[in-house]
Amino acid sequence: MEESKKCPFSNVSFGDGAASFSSSTGPRLATSKRTDSIASYGSSRSSVGTLDKTPKSRAIRREVETGIGHGFKRCYYPDYLRLDQLLSLQRPYSESCEGSEHDKGFAHDEMLFIITHQTYELWFKQIIFEFESVHRTFSKTIIEDHDMALVNERLSRVRAIQSLLVGALPVLETMTPMDFLEFRDFLTPASGFQSVQFRIIEVMMGLPLSKTRRMYGSPEFFTSKFHPSDLERALEWENRPSLAELTEKWLERLPLPNFDWLSQYKSAVYAMLDSDEQTVKQVFGSTSISDEESVDGEDEEHPDGEGGGGCPFFAHQGGRGAERLEQELQALRATKATFESLFHDEQHSEMVSRGVRRWSRTATLNALFIFLYRDLPLLQMPFQFLQNLLEIDNGFTQWRLAHAQMAQRMLGTKIGTGATSGSEYLTRAAKANKVFLDLHNLSTYLVPRGMLPQLPPHILKMLKFPEATELLGDGMAKKDAI
C-alpha cells in the first residue's frame, strides 16, 4: 500500500529563532507572562488530542490524522498558517523592560501599535507579490489580451488592499497621544521610514531612492537609516525597469491608428478653447482683450461698481470685473500654451528636462488617445490598466496624507522617532511622491465627447470586436440566411 504523503505545512518547526529576535540597537526581547500566554497558542494541539472518546469523535480524529480520501495527511489550520510562529511575534518592548532600569510600566496600547504595523508589512508583501506579477508580464515584448486582463485583476487587488491600509488608521487612532507617549521612547530610533518593503514598492512603481534621498539633503542620512542588506534589497529593484518605465515602453509600442488624428484633435482643442474664451467674456465682462493688451485699472472710473464689463455678479467688487476678466484670459492663454507643448517635440522635450513631464511624446499621445476613446471595446482594458495605475498612485498619496494627519494628532510638531520632521515630512512626501505624473496631467488635454475627431471607418472596425460573420466566415453567414 502506498505510503500516505505528509502535508508540507504539518507540524513545521522554526526553532527558537523564529519566535524571538534580538536587535543590536535595542534591548533583547525577554519572555514575559503576558506574551507567553499568547505565544503558547496552538502549541499543545489540545483541540484534537482531548476529543471526547465517542465513536463519532474517534472517526473525526482518524480523518484528521490519516486524511481519508486525499492521499496525504490533512493539514491542520494552525499548522497551515503557522500560527505558533505568527502569534509569538508580538513582543512589546514596554513589557520586556519590566523590572529593569528602563521599566516605565506595561503600555497596553503598544500591542495595538505592533499588530497594526505588522499587518501593514504583510499587506506590503502582498502588494510586492502582485507588482512582481505585473512586472513579469510587462517585461514581455508582446502583451496578449488575456495577459492584460490578468494584470488588471492584480492591480485591482492592490487598490482593494490600499483601502485596508487607510481603513486601519481609525483603529490606530483609538490610541490617544498620551497612550502613545507611554511607549514612544522605546521605539527610538526605529521608524516607519525604515520600512524596506514600502521603499521597494515605491521603487517598483517608479520612485527612485535617489529622489527620496534628496528630500533629506544628505544621502548619508538616508542610507544610515537602513541595514546594508535591507538597502541592497531596495537597490536591486532600482536596477530594474520600474512599472512607470515599462508602461511608457508599452505605450510607445501600441499599434494605434495611422492617420492624421493629431491635426484633427488640434482643431478640436482650438474650438474648445475659443468656446471657453467666449464663456469667460460673457461671465466676467464683454471687454475685448487681445493676447498683448492689459486692462489693469480699466474700470477705475466706475467706483460705484458698475464697471466690470456689465457683469452684475461682480458689480459688488467695486469695479474689479475687468481685472478678474484679464486673470481668466491669462489662465486660458496658459492652457493654450500647455496644449501647444504637446503638439511640438521640442517644447515637450523641454518640459521633460524640467521634470514637468516624464514620458516621451509618443507615449503621452498614445495614452491620451486611449483616454479619449476609452469606450471602444479594444481600448477598454488598456484604459482600465492606466486608470488602475492612476488610482494606485492616488491611493498611496491618500494613505500618506492620512498617516501625516495621524502623526500630527499624535506628535504635534515633535520630530519623529527616526529623527525626521514627523508629520511635516509625511505631508511633504505625500505631495512630492507622485509616480504617474503624466497620467495625472492627462485630464488637462481631454475634450468633450461631442468635439472628438471622428475616426475613419477602417479605424473604428479595428478597435471594435469583430462581427459574427468575420469570426465564422461567409459560409456560415450564408447558411444562417437560408
- Look up the pTM and report it: 0.74
CATH of the domain at 205: 1.20.58.480
Distance of CA 114 to the CA centre of its chain: 23
Residues 76 and 31 in one domain: yes
Contacts of 289 (CB under 8 A, 6+ apart): 295, 325, 326, 329
Residues 148 and 204 in one domain: yes
Is 402 inside a domain boundary? Answer: yes
Is 65 inside a domain boundary? Answer: yes
Query: What local confidence, expressed as pLDDT, does residue 57 receive?
Result: 66
Is 482 inside a domain boundary? Answer: no
**Is there a contact between 286 and 309 (Cβ–Cβ < 8 Å)?**
yes
What mean pLDDT comes out for the span 97-123? 84
Is 338 inside a domain boundary? Answer: yes
Residues 240 and 344 in one domain: no
Closest of 403, 398, 429, 414 to residue 116, by C-alpha: 403
Binding-site residue positions: 214
**Report for 314-323, 329-338, 382-391, 429-438: range of highest mean pLDDT:** 382-391
For residue range 418-439, list pLDDT tens digits in order: 445 555 766 777 777 889 999 9
Distance of CA 286 to the CA centre of its chain: 46
Is 475 inside a domain boundary? Answer: no
Q: Say how far apart CA 159 and CA 393 lie, in whole Å.
A: 9
pLDDT bin (cut points 50, 70, 90) of residue 118 is very high
Is 4 inside a domain boundary? Answer: no
For residue range 198-243, list pLDDT tens digits in order: 999 999 999 988 776 565 556 667 777 888 898 899 889 999 999 9
Residues 378 and 391 in one domain: no
Is 369 inside a domain boundary? Answer: yes
Residues 212 and 133 in one domain: yes
Query: What local confidence, expressed as pLDDT, does residue 27 receive?
Result: 43
Would the pLDDT of 160 be above 90?
yes
Q: What is the DSSP letter of 5?
A: B
Q: Say how far apart CA 61 and CA 55 lie, in whole Å.
A: 10
Give the count of domains, the chain. Answer: 3
Residues 55 and 77 in one domain: yes
Q: Residues of the chain with pLDDT > 70: what percent?
A: 66
Is 298 inside a domain boundary? Answer: yes
CB burial string 235-258: b at 16+ within 10 A, e below: eebbeebbbbebbbebbeeeebee
Residues 242 and 268 in one domain: no
**Is there a contact between 200 and 237 (Cβ–Cβ < 8 Å)?**
yes
Residues 114 and 35 in one domain: no
For residue range 12-24, list pLDDT tens digits in order: 443 444 433 334 4
Residues 149 and 216 in one domain: yes
Q: With both helix axes pointing from N to C terminus, report the angle between 423-432 and 377-411 in degrees, rounded to the nearest 10.
A: 160
Query: What local confidence, expressed as pLDDT, does residue 122 receive?
Result: 98
Query: What local confidence, expressed as pLDDT, does residue 33 receive?
Result: 53
Q: Residues of the chain with pLDDT > 90: what percent?
A: 44
**Report for 268-277, 377-386, 403-412: range of highest mean pLDDT:** 377-386
Query: What local confidence, expressed as pLDDT, does residue 210 receive?
Result: 76
Residues 21 and 77 in one domain: yes
Would the pLDDT of 82 be above 80?
yes
Query: What local confidence, expressed as pLDDT, does residue 249 receive?
Result: 97
What mean pLDDT comes out for the span 155-180? 95
Would the pLDDT of 411 be above 70?
yes
Containing domain of residue 287, as a range?
A: 261-382+445-451
**Domain final residue, candidates 59, 91, 123:** 91
Query: What local confidence, expressed as pLDDT, does residue 295 receive?
Result: 40
Contacts of 119 (CB under 8 A, 6+ apart): 168
Residues 358 and 327 in one domain: yes
Would the pLDDT of 47 be above 50?
no
**φ, ψ for residue 7, nearest 5 deg:** -60, 130
Query: What local confidence, expressed as pLDDT, does residue 39 receive?
Result: 44
Contacts of 313 (CB under 8 A, 6+ apart): 283
For residue range 172-208, list pLDDT tens digits in order: 999 999 999 888 888 877 778 789 999 999 999 999 8
Binding-site residue positions for substrate: 214
Q: Say how far apart CA 289 and CA 293 lie, in whole Å.
A: 6
For residue range 285-299, list pLDDT tens digits in order: 754 444 444 444 444
Residues 120 and 137 in one domain: yes
Cell of 45: 494541539
Q: Say how far apart CA 273 and CA 326 lie, in whole Å.
A: 15
For residue range 65-77, list pLDDT tens digits in order: 555 555 556 889 9
pLDDT bin (cut points 50, 70, 90) of residue 53 is low
